[in-house]
Structure formats: C-alpha cells, structure tokens
Amino acid sequence: MSIVLGANQYGKAEVRLVRVVRAGGRHDLRDLNVSVTLAGDLAATHLTGDNTVVLPTDSQKNTVYAFARAHGVDGIEEFGLRLARHFVASQPAIDTATVHIEEYGWQRLGPHSFQRAGGEVRTATVTCTDGRTEVEAGLTGLVLLNSTDSEFHGYVKDPYTTLPETNDRILATAVDARWHYRGDNLDWEDSYGAARAGLVDAFVGTYSLSLQQTLYAMGHRVLTDRPEITEVRLSLPNKHHLLVDLTPFGLDNPNEVFVATDRPYGLIEGTVRRADDGTVDPADGGRH
Amino acid sequence: MSIVLGANQYGKAEVRLVRVVRAGGRHDLRDLNVSVTLAGDLAATHLTGDNTVVLPTDSQKNTVYAFARAHGVDGIEEFGLRLARHFVASQPAIDTATVHIEEYGWQRLGPHSFQRAGGEVRTATVTCTDGRTEVEAGLTGLVLLNSTDSEFHGYVKDPYTTLPETNDRILATAVDARWHYRGDNLDWEDSYGAARAGLVDAFVGTYSLSLQQTLYAMGHRVLTDRPEITEVRLSLPNKHHLLVDLTPFGLDNPNEVFVATDRPYGLIEGTVRRADDGTVDPADGGRH
Amino acid sequence: MSIVLGANQYGKAEVRLVRVVRAGGRHDLRDLNVSVTLAGDLAATHLTGDNTVVLPTDSQKNTVYAFARAHGVDGIEEFGLRLARHFVASQPAIDTATVHIEEYGWQRLGPHSFQRAGGEVRTATVTCTDGRTEVEAGLTGLVLLNSTDSEFHGYVKDPYTTLPETNDRILATAVDARWHYRGDNLDWEDSYGAARAGLVDAFVGTYSLSLQQTLYAMGHRVLTDRPEITEVRLSLPNKHHLLVDLTPFGLDNPNEVFVATDRPYGLIEGTVRRADDGTVDPADGGRH
Amino acid sequence: MSIVLGANQYGKAEVRLVRVVRAGGRHDLRDLNVSVTLAGDLAATHLTGDNTVVLPTDSQKNTVYAFARAHGVDGIEEFGLRLARHFVASQPAIDTATVHIEEYGWQRLGPHSFQRAGGEVRTATVTCTDGRTEVEAGLTGLVLLNSTDSEFHGYVKDPYTTLPETNDRILATAVDARWHYRGDNLDWEDSYGAARAGLVDAFVGTYSLSLQQTLYAMGHRVLTDRPEITEVRLSLPNKHHLLVDLTPFGLDNPNEVFVATDRPYGLIEGTVRRADDGTVDPADGGRH
C-alpha cells in the first residue's frame, strides 16, 4: 500500500499590475490582480527536490509584467489567454496553465484622474490544457437589495423550526457569479456587460418566493440573452435583514427598521446550464 | 502615591441599522453603522461594580432602533444630534455623549431595488457635552489616483536615501477626511456634497510636487468654498505604484507598467484650518 | 437547446456556537463555527418558488444549538456526523448533507478562565450521502518558518527569469491541510493530534530544496504514521522573506535582515495519497 | 479670516522586518511591523511643494533595515528609541519623531524552526521630542474569557431597557492595553512580562459586577506591581456571548450553550493612573 503523489499544481498568486495607456494627455487604466497556476509532470521536485522543470514563480510574475508592456492589456480574458498559452507552449513539462484575473474598476474623473469604483470585482479564469482553452468570466462583491417583492413561506416545519412565515421581507445578497463561454474568440467586453446586466435585471425584476427562485431566474436570464454562454454558477449569501421588534417601546414596525446581520447567513448555490451542453456533470444527475 | 481612575467612557459600538422609507411603491434606504459613547460620573461601576448610574449598552442599542422608527433618519448628522442630546438629557450621570455614524451608500436600480455603492463610507461624529454640541463630518475609503501631474524631487538625501527623483509618477491615495462645522443647524446634505466635491476637485486639479501639497490644497479648497467649515483633517496614505524595471527583458517602461504595493506605505496627515478660529490647538503651535 | 437547473445546494453558514461544560467549578469550553449545506431534490423552489421541501436555514441553525445542548460537543467530527445524519434522515428530499466545522482553540488559565489560542483553526468536514459518511479533518492558519535548511536552485531559466539561485533562504508558510479518514468511528482526538504533529515535524525536519519537496514530506509523514488516513491535501503559500540589499549603506547582510512580503506569493498545492486507495482521481492521471 | 496649516506629520507605515540572529546553528527571530512618523517645520512642502527638508519615507524605511543590521533588535522599546532619536538628531527640521512597533510572537520548534504564536501582538510607541523621550508599551488581540464569576445587574432601567439582569454570564474581551513608563532606560522585557501577567491575572481573578470593574482591577494591578509604570489605558470590547433560548425545543439551557456575536458590542475604555503623576489630564477632571 504505497504512498504516491496525487494532483498537484503551483504558481504565483496575486500579482498586482496597474497598466496605464497614455494616448496623449488622456490616459486609460487597467488595475489587475493576476494569479498563475501550472500543472504537469512535477513529480521530481516533490520527491527529490529536483527543480529541473520548475519555472520559478518569480519568473511567472515577471512574465505578467513583461507581457503587459509588450502586448498591452486589452481585456482580462485576452490577457489571460495570452499568458496561459505562453506557459503551456514554452514549458515542456507543463500541460495545464490556469490564469485567474481579478479586475478592479475605476471611474474617470478627468483626462488622467480616476476614482476606484468600489467593492465589485470582475473576474476571468482561463485554462489552457492539451491545446484546448476554456474561458470563464464572472464577478464578485456585487451587493444587491430589494426592499420588497420578496416572500418566504410554505417551507418545512420540523421540530426546530421557529422562523415566522413572511410575505414581505428584504432580500439582499452579494452576487458571486461565474459563467462559461463557448469558444475563446469572442467580444469579451460585450459579453461581460450583457451578462452582468442580465444578472442585475433578473434580480431586480423577479418577484421572489425564495432566494433559490431568484438565483435560477438570474442564471436563466443570462443563458437566454447570450448564446455564447453555456453555464452560469451562482453563489448567493442571503444577507439577512431582520425586522426589529419595537413593541417593548410602544412602537410598531411596518417593515421599516431592520438589523443587518453578519453571521450566520444563508448560502444558496446553484448552476443553471444548457441541457445539450455535452459536458455532462454526473454530480448533478437527479437534481434537475 | 495613590492609584486613581482617569478618563473613561463606554458605549455600544457598531449598531447596524437599515432604515427603509416606503412612500407608496417607491422606497428609500439609509444603511448605517452607529456607535454610541457615554462619559460622566462613572467611578462607582469601576471601583465597586455599583451600576446604579450605568445605562446598559443594550439599552443604547434599543434607543438607536426606536429613534429610527419614531423620528426617522433624515441624515446622519441630524440622527446623531438627536441621539447624543437624548443620552445627555436623560441620564443625570452622563455629561458627554458621542455618536459616531458610518453611512454606506446605495445606488438606486428601481423603485425598491438598490446596489451597494462600494468602498467609500460617509461619516459623522456628534458630541454633546455641557449643553454644547459639536458636529464633525467626513468620509473614508475614497480612493483617488492621478496617473500623471505628480513629481517628487528636491528632498533630503541622507546616507539612507536611495529613492530616485522623478518628475512623473502615479499619485494615489485613500482619502480619510474629517471636517468640523460651525453650528449645529445646517443643511448637512448640501455641506457634505460640497465638501466632498471640493476634496475630489482639488486632488484632480492640483499639479503635485508632494502629497503634502495635495493635502493642503484639498483642505484649503474645502475651507474656501464652505464658510460653515472651520477645520479639515486629512489622513492620506501614499498608495505607492512602483514602476517595474523591464530592462532585463529588453523592454522599456515609459510610465506604463506599475506594481501596486500594499506595505509599507507613506502616510501623510495634516490639518488645514481657519486662523481666527478661536479653538486654538496648542499642539500645533510652531508649525504654521 | 433548453435551459436546466444543474448542481445546487443551500444551507446556513457560520453558526457561532460556544459550548460550556460545567463540571462543578471546573469548566470546559468548545468554540465552533458551524456551516450546514444540504442538497437533494430542490428543483421546485428554484423553478417556481415552491418551498414544500425546503427546511429553512434558520431551522438548521436552531438544530445546531439544540443538538449542542441535547448531545454535547465531544468533538467536531462527532458533532458533524450527528448533524449530517440528522438532516439526511429527517428530510426526505435531502440526499446529501455536509457539515463543515471550524474550531478555535483556547488555553486554560484557571478553572473557568481561558485565553484564545491564536490564528490556527482546526476543521472537520462531514458528508452524509446515500447512507455513507465521509469524514475529513484539517487545519488552517498554522504558520511555520525555518530560518535555514532551505535551498532553491537548478530551476528553469527562461527569458523572464531573474531570480538568483540560493542555498540558504527562509522557508515560511501558512499550512492549510485536509486529510481524509477511512471510516467514521475513530478516536478523532488521537488521530488529529498525531496528524498535526506529523505535519509540523516533517516541516521542521525536512532539509528543503523546494517547497514542493516539503509539501510531499509533510503528506508522506502523515500517511506513514496513520493508517486510518488515506489522503492528505495541502495548500502552502510560500510566504516570501526577501533578503534586504544593504550594500548602499555599506553593510553586508549575511541572511539576517529580511522583508516579509504580502503579495505576490508562491502557492504550492498538492495531494499525497495511498496508491491502492480505490478512489481514483482521473484528474491526476499522469502526474505521479 | 485666513486659512493656515495646522498640526501635521508624515512617515512610513508598516515596514515589515524579520531579523534573524544566527548564533551558530541556533537562531533567534524578531518579527516586527515598524511605523515611523515625523513632525516639525514642514510648512514649505505643504504650501509650495518645496521638499528641501523632507526626508523621503523611503529613506525612513531604509533606515529601519540598516539599523536592524548595524545595531540588532534587542527589544522593540530599545529599537524604537534608537530610531526615534536618530531622526530627530539627524534632521534639523524635525522636532518630533514617533516610532510605533508591533511585534508578532513566534514559538520555538527547533534550533531554527518556529511557529507563529497567534493573534496577540506586542506593541511599543516611542516619542522623541525636544530631547525628551517617552516610552509606551502595550498589547492588542489578547482574547480572554471567564465562563462564570461575572454578574450584571442594578443598572439604570430607562424606557429602552429590555436586558434581563443576570448573576452568571460569560465575560469575554480582546484586551487592548497601553501603559506609560517613567524613564527610558528600563529592563523592558521584565517590565513587559510583568505588566502582561498582571493584566491576565487580574482578569482571571476578579469576580466581576461590570466590565468596568474588571478594567479598573486590571489597571490597578499593573500599577501596584510595577512602580516604573505611571498610567495604563485599556480598551475592552465586551465580546457578548448570548444565552440561546432552547425552550421552543423542550430544552433548558443552564448557561451551557451560547451564541458568540460579532456586532454590536459594548466597548469599555478607561485609564488607571497614579494620582501624583504630574501629567494632569484636564479632560478627566471630575471623573475620579
């Protein structure tokens, strides 16, 4: 019963890159956090410390900066594709390169002045393996709230259930979404903008009987609007806003005064996808 | 050489309050984090655990929620004034109440739908003592960046100085500002908006030879624009963006590719105030 | 090309539970953060908002507290097993329950006094599905450092490589480890203590030519020592400590003065497992 | 009514320094986070961007590293004194230098192996101004808990009070303490160790009727034990542990099952000092 090395990978995480494009007096800005992960035939360094095929993570970092200068950063999907292909093509021992990029938004204040846009982060994950590339896009930290048009009732009452049913509550979440593209040569900006708009519109427009229903509506909208997207994965914390009981103080509370709580929180996670996608996921066999 | 109780205070920190105003189908939202601090004749609880004059922090929390229902939250300065005055007026042992409020912004997406606006936080601190009230407003987390029009040279070269002089660098900071009002009955929304705009405009419009120069310009602008403001305190981290040396890779770098670093960072702090303010601060005697 | 619901799950995250056992004047303390996740036939709530089979996450939270009182918390693996089995057994629509628990350590200061032990967190993840249970244990936040006995050289030099080779560096990491048990009826405390000790001893005792080599040695040690463990997964950030160049100040630096950097960092991830484990992972086919 | 520059200062924050002392095969480690702040005649850089007397924050950082090599780091008070005196002595325009140092603890695992000790951080703040030096020491992040011997009752009941009185509750806090030394040439390690022990012992040993009473006992103990300490300032969040109501589930809860809450929290702050200290603080006139 021998002991062996299983799946493994390595890389440089969180390379912070700010790329300025200076078109005369008017500048543009891309602000990225790039993480590179490489996998392949890396047994020797694990078993004996033989680093013959190990490209240092420091070199990976340097590559990110050099490519930003040499090729520019037109978009995070394009930049990720260029980097991932480079590592697989140039390193014989590496069969899979994954480049994950977070982009922080900035709003323009002037020709060369900007304001950081806040908590929302755009993401892309590019995987290059065996000559194939996969592109996934997404976002995190998009906090949305509907102050009405949300109900929750008709659920299981077990011996531990004390939650009152409600036909009017606040529904709030911090959207964490990832979607998968068919192909690697798309108009990424256009697709991203439309997918994001679809998520927001569906959240706003869905009269919700459960956060699961809202989740499904969000994924369904993106797939309906964008044929190039094959699957949407959503992770939605239910950011509870609890109605405060003001009766001890002789006051009513007609859904006006709430406590925003930190922990615990509900966490709703789900995938919405095309049925004929081909990439059958055995894990979700009976659930759709 | 006896041991005595010195300055002391207590209160409830970080009471999270979301206040919805439902005007028919159109809702408004205020999202606050309220901290209350009380001081006065509190020796007994310290010395013997006699809590006769201690208002529980839990009651302070309840007061925040009850006042939000009973009186609404028209603005954080007004809400802070109401709370601070209440605690001093109703608790004989308390001579000073300080209410510090953070407000998180939301952008409207629909009649009752909102998106959290991001990292910037509006603040107010109201102090009520001996019948007097002081109102301070401010903001934190406003991240600004100029990608040019910033130089840094002509500084001291001591034996530990290796920094090269530059006549073109990125200047970026996360503004933490607090300003003090003359009076307690102003149009807070108007003052806040104008003060914030002044800070941003001065940052954008100042050709900077040092972050200190930018700081002073920001404070000066607010005081010039707003007679009701007597003093502006600014704490500006210098969020360094270091030019990457790409010469090992045969590439130049004409101020286009930067590393955004986390630590260490410069920290520039300063006060800009009116000369005839009356509230002479002995601590800054010889420095202006 | 229809749109369907894919894999999905939901639950209550981060239920904070402190359980005191009062054996006369001597108390014991368990401090947990419990997250429950349920999966099964949940299509109705996604598609139509029909919550007939949805157990509210609030009820899941209540169950955690009630079980802590009714059954005690002898260990996080045991507590997780009890909870996971309960949800699958009591909810017909649920076929899989996962309970993830973090435990925060406390050191005893007296019969009923304690000091929080710091950054290291013990974890357990119990999955109950189709009558089978899987138990995984682990830890995060265990920060280890060797100030010598670490080299790094002989690696790939590509056009972007500038890193100097070294035969003496600091090696530091924050261990994130998870290991899988054979069976669900073990002496969990004994296994945990021995696995943790094996990880630490292997880190300390390995003369390292790469962090990968240290990783493999850590996993190998745990599997060698503990037959009940079938697989160890490790995620090891390389917390870089860079030697400061003091030559501009006329000083040498014989591996004595270092900068501890935050970002970027190397990230080394790998699995060490038994060859005849039966659970073949197709993803790591050619890599061992 | 002219506008003038008020109090101002600048410096480099969070210089991360790890200092290894290699005594043959046995190493010692100091892990510091150093922040330098300088004040003086800095009007020119604010008003016109004239940096003639500005020592770059980058040079301050270099000084920290060079001094660590040239002089070693025997203790954070000593290291802070050396740095603060250097800046005032070498920079004519600077009249005040403040050096704040955080030290992260490591436990020894072997001759050159260490484990990070956790959340508790030791601090020192040295101020050098006009030839005088002030040394303050402290700690943060020391989390203590008594699971009994804490009561809270007899407090004010106002119209917003709903808190039930209790004669047995959990008392928990994260100690943030700073104390001031008489003199600048002490056995810092001895003083620190004794002060810390006094804080812990007083927390453990005090039968508490309010967190204020515990605070005062902690400060009083340190001053009683250590004549070289003139004042202790404590900031103690009341980390609430709320008893869970299990009656809906047919269970009692005799102080055994608690929710550890994050927000809001009580915050108790106070100073304990010697009466004849000479440094009269007008702010706390009537409160002791």
**Beta strand spans in D132-227 (E):** 132-146, 171-181
Please check whether residue A63 is in contact with residue A15, taking contact to mean a CB–CB distance below 8 angstroms. no
**Angular region, C260: left φ>0, alpha ψ -120 to 50, beta rest:** beta
Tell me: pLDDT of C49 over 90. Answer: yes
Catalytic residue among C100, C180, C239, C240: C240
Task: Provide CB contacts within 8 A for C149, sequence distance 6+.
Answer: C171, C206, C207, C208, D112
What tokens appear for A94 in the block?
A: 């590496």
Q: With b meaning 16 or more CB within 10 Å and e meaning fewer, what string describes B157-190?
A: ebebbebeeeeebbbbbbbbbbbbbeebebebee
| A210/C288 CB distance under 8 A | no
Q: How sure is the predictor about C130, in pLDDT bands with cuts at 50, 70 and 90?
A: confident
pLDDT, chain C, mean: 95
Q: What is the mean pLDDT of residues C169-173?
A: 98
Facing D249 at nearest CB: one of A160, A248, A249: A160
Q: Beta B171-181 vs A241-243: how paired, if at all?
A: unpaired
Cβ-count burial of A277 within 10 angstroms (0-12 exposed, 13-18 middle, 19+ buried)? middle
Catalytic residue among D239, D240, D241, D271: D240
| Rounded Cα–Cα distance for residues A67 and A71 (Å) | 5
Tell me: pLDDT of C9 over 70. Answer: yes
pLDDT for C131: 81
* Chain A CB contacts of D158 below 8 Å: none
Please check whether residue D215 is in contact with residue D264, taking contact to mean a CB–CB distance below 8 angstroms. no
Q: How sure is the predictor about A166, in pLDDT bands with cuts at 50, 70 and 90?
A: very high
| Residue C240 among the catalytic residues | yes
Q: What is the mean pLDDT of residues C46-58?
A: 98
Tell me: pLDDT of A53 over 70. Answer: yes
What tokens appear for B155 in the block?
A: 């500084």
Largest CA distance in chain C: 76
Task: Report which residue type is found at B168.
Answer: D
**Rounded to 5°, angle at Cα B46 from B53 and D102:** 125
C208-261 confidence digits (pLDDT tens): 999 999 999 999 999 999 999 999 999 999 999 999 999 999 999 999 999 999
Q: Set out the domains of chain D in order of their start, with CATH numbers.
A: 7-130 (3.10.270.10), 138-288 (3.10.270.10)
Q: Reduced to 3 states, what is the DSSP secondary structure of residue B118?
A: strand
* Chain A CB contacts of C266 below 8 Å: 10-13, 57
| Rounded Cα–Cα distance for residues C84 and D226 (Å) | 54
Give the single-character DSSP code of A150.
B
DSSP per residue, chain C: --EEEEEEEEEEE-EEEEEEEEETTEEEEEEEEEEEEEEES-HHHHHH---TT---HHHHHHHHHHHHHHH--S-HHHHHHHHHHHHHHH-TTEEEEEEEEEEEEEEEEETTEEEEEEEEEEEEEEEEETTEEEEEEEEEEEEEEESSSB-B-S----TT--PPPBSS--EEEEEEEEEEESSS-S-HHHHHHHHHHHHHHHHHH--BSSHHHHHHHHHHHHHHH-TTEEEEEEEEEE--EEEP--GGGT---SS-EEEEP-SSEEEEEEEEEETT-S---GGGGGG-
Let me know how many helices (H) and strands (E) chain D has, helices first.
5, 11
| C18/D114 CB distance under 8 A | no
D120–chain A nearest CA distance, Å: 24
pLDDT for A286: 35
- Percentage of chain D lying above the pLDDT 90 cut: 92
Q: What is the mean pLDDT of residues D72-87?
A: 97
Residue of C1, C9, C10 to mutate when probing chain A, most A C-beta within 10 A: C10
- Residue entry with tokens 């038994």: C274
| Residue B125 among the catalytic residues | no
Which of B33, B36, B46, B53 shows the shortest CA–CA distance to B5? B46
> What residue of D is the nearest CA neighbor of C206?
D113
pLDDT for A24: 86
Facing B162 at nearest CB: one of C159, C248, C262: C248
> What residue of D is the nearest CA neighbor of A246?
D160
| Residue B57 among the catalytic residues | yes
A109-155 confidence digits (pLDDT tens): 999 999 999 889 999 999 999 889 999 999 999 999 999 999 999 99
| Rounded Cα–Cα distance for residues A230 and A125 (Å) | 15
Tell me: pLDDT of D282 over 50. Answer: no
Facing A262 at nearest CB: one of D159, D160, D262: D262
Catalytic residue among B12, B61, B100, B241: B12
| Rounded Cα–Cα distance for residues C170 and C144 (Å) | 11
D241-258 confidence digits (pLDDT tens): 999 999 999 999 999 999
pLDDT for C128: 98
H-helix or E-strand spanning residue B265: strand B265-274
**Chain B: touching chains (3 or more CB pairs < 8 Å):** A, C, D
pLDDT for B277: 52
Please check whether residue D15 is in contact with residue D34, taking contact to mean a CB–CB distance below 8 angstroms. yes
B113–chain D nearest CA distance, Å: 26
* Cα B260 off chain centre by: 24
Q: Reduced to 3 states, what is the DSSP secondary structure of residue A8?
A: strand
Task: Provide CB contacts within 8 A for B43, sequence distance 6+.
Answer: B5, D287, D288
Calculate Rg over the CA atoms of chain C. 23
Tell me: pLDDT of A94 over 70. Answer: yes
A184-212 confidence digits (pLDDT tens): 999 999 999 999 999 999 999 999 999 99
What tokens appear for A198 in the block?
A: 């679809």
pLDDT for C100: 98
| D65/C20 CB distance under 8 A | no
Calculate Rg over the CA atoms of chain A. 23
Give the single-character DSSP code of A165.
P
Q: What is the mean pLDDT of residues C32-46?
A: 98
**Rounded to 5°, angle at Cα B74 from B69 and B80:** 80
> What residue of D is the nearest CA neighbor of A158?
D249
Tell me: pLDDT of C276 over 90. Answer: no
Task: Provide CB contacts within 8 A for B78, sequence distance 6+.
Answer: B188
Which of C69, C51, C149, C132 shows the shortest CA–CA distance to C97? C132
Task: Report which residue type is found at A191.
Answer: S
Please check whether residue C13 is in contact with residue A265, taking contact to mean a CB–CB distance below 8 angstroms. yes
Higher-confidence residue of A176 and D277: namely: A176
What tokens appear for B184 in the block?
A: 């307690």
* Cα B151 off chain centre by: 27
Q: Reduced to 3 states, what is the DSSP secondary structure of residue B213?
A: helix
Q: Reduced to 3 states, what is the DSSP secondary structure of residue D192?
A: helix
pLDDT for C277: 52
Catalytic residue among B61, B100, B239, B240: B240
C94-114 confidence digits (pLDDT tens): 999 999 999 999 999 999 999
Which of B117, B87, B92, B93 shows the shortest CA–CA distance to B105? B117
Q: How far is CA B8 from CA B36, C164, D269, in A?
A: 14, 55, 6
> Considering Cα of C245, then C251, then C255, then C258, what sign does the dihedral take?
negative
Task: Report which residue type is found at A150.
Answer: S
Cis peptide before D111 (omega within 30 of 0): no
Q: Name residues of chain B where pLDDT drops below 50.
A: 279-288
Task: Report which residue type is found at B73.
Answer: V
DSSP per residue, C163-213: PPPBSS--EEEEEEEEEEESSS-S-HHHHHHHHHHHHHHHHHH--BSSHHH
pLDDT for C41: 98
D11-68 confidence digits (pLDDT tens): 999 999 999 999 889 999 999 999 999 999 999 999 999 999 999 999 999 999 999 9
Chain B to chain C, count of Cβ pairs less than 8 Å apart? 9
pLDDT for B278: 52
Cβ-count burial of A117 within 10 angstroms (0-12 exposed, 13-18 middle, 19+ buried)? middle
Facing D287 at nearest CB: one of B1, B7, B155: B7
Task: Provide CB contacts within 8 A for D7, sequence distance 6+.
Answer: B270, B271, B281, B283, B284, B287, D39
CB hemisphere CA count around C241 (13 angstroms): 23
pLDDT for C82: 98
Tell me: pLDDT of C285 over 80. Answer: no
| Rounded Cα–Cα distance for residues A218 and A146 (Å) | 14
> Considering Cα of D203, then D208, then D210, then D216, what sign does the dihedral take?
negative
Q: What is the mean pLDDT of residues C194-213?
A: 98
**Angular region, D194: left φ>0, alpha ψ -120 to 50, beta rest:** alpha
Please check whether residue D266 is in contact with residue D235, taking contact to mean a CB–CB distance below 8 angstroms. no
Q: Beta B257-260 vs D132-146: how paired, if at all?
A: unpaired
* Cα D202 off chain centre by: 17
C154–chain B nearest CA distance, Å: 20
Cβ-count burial of C167 within 10 angstroms (0-12 exposed, 13-18 middle, 19+ buried)? exposed
Q: Note the helical H segments in chain B.
A: 43-48, 57-71, 76-90, 188-205, 211-225
Task: Provide CB contacts within 8 A for B37, sequence distance 6+.
Answer: B9, B10, B11, B97, B98, B99, B100, D267, D269
| Rounded Cα–Cα distance for residues D189 and D124 (Å) | 12
By annotation, the residues of A acting in catalysis are 12, 57, 240
Q: Reduced to 3 states, what is the DSSP secondary structure of residue D275?
A: coil
> Considering Cα of D12, then D16, then D22, then D28, what sign does the dihedral take?
positive
